[in-house]
Amino acid sequence: MRIDKLLANLGFGSRKEVKQLLKSGAVKVDDAVIKDAKAHVDPATQHVTLNGEHVEYKEFIYLMMNKPPGVLSATEDSRDKTVIDLLELNDQVYSPFPVGRLDKDTEGLLLITNDGQLSHRLLSPKKHVPKTYFAVIEGEVTEEDVEAFQEGVTLDDGYFTKPGQLTILKSGLMSDIELTITEGKFHQVKRMFEAVGKRVVYLKRLSMGPLALDESLELGEYRELTEEEIEMLKSDGSK
Ligand code: URA
């Protein structure tokens, strides 16, 4: 790819600014100063430096965030902070976006990437990618609820859901549950509980397909996926 494009994509300035950088002799490819903006470079095999600092280039970036409450799963918003605002600038330069949405008050696993194909596959209704949530429910969750979710429930807009696998962890005035669903309708978990007359008071996503939340991540923290996690996601998502 052209050296000016590579540097501009990485956020080192506009194409014009990058041209100036090149002219000034700040950029080297395999130890040779490159001044020509049109010069081609292969970032996978060649060593690019800017003012002596290695310029790392990846086509795709895959991040796992433990989404905190109060932050939007969006790339930008005029009022609220978004999950992208929480990323370091050297990750933001890859123009990543969240794969699907968690509600503003929902916590937990959020995949953030710039790999549109993978995102598309993971979100495709045809793929039935399972998503597991932990929730605290106001009211006593019962075996009848487990059975109802197994059959599918009717949401407020008349939509009849696919089966959900509900596990009661603790039942009482406040109940702890885990729920696995294979769809991603708007506010689906909250609306499924509304369908059986109960209210979700806390919601956290634990997993998406083969990808599980790294519990060592504090709320708002994130890390890159491991090669193994990326491979698992790609092979699972392509089923
Ligand atoms: N279901 C919901 O109700 N909210 C979420 O954020 C995710 C699933």
Distance 104 CA to ligand 1 centre (A): 9
pLDDT tens-digit profile of 66-96?
999 999 999 999 999 999 999 998 888 888 9
Return the CATH number of 3-54, one of 3.90.1170.50, 3.30.565.10, 3.40.50.720, 3.10.290.10.
Answer: 3.10.290.10
121 pLDDT higher than 50: yes
Q: Are 57 and 46 in contact (CB under 8 A)?
A: no
Pocket of ligand 1 (CB under 6 A): 102-103, 106, 187-190, 203
pTM, to two decimals: 0.86
pLDDT digits (tens, 9 = 90+) for 133-152: 999 999 999 999 999 999 99
Hunting for tokens 């700040």 — which residue is that?
26
Same fold: 3-54 with 62-125+211-237: no
Please tell me the CATH superfamily of domain 130-208, with its number: Alpha-L RNA-binding motif (3.30.70.1560)
In CATH, 62-125+211-237 is 3.40.50.300 = no
Active centre residues (catalytic): 103
Whether residue 112 has pLDDT greater than 80: yes
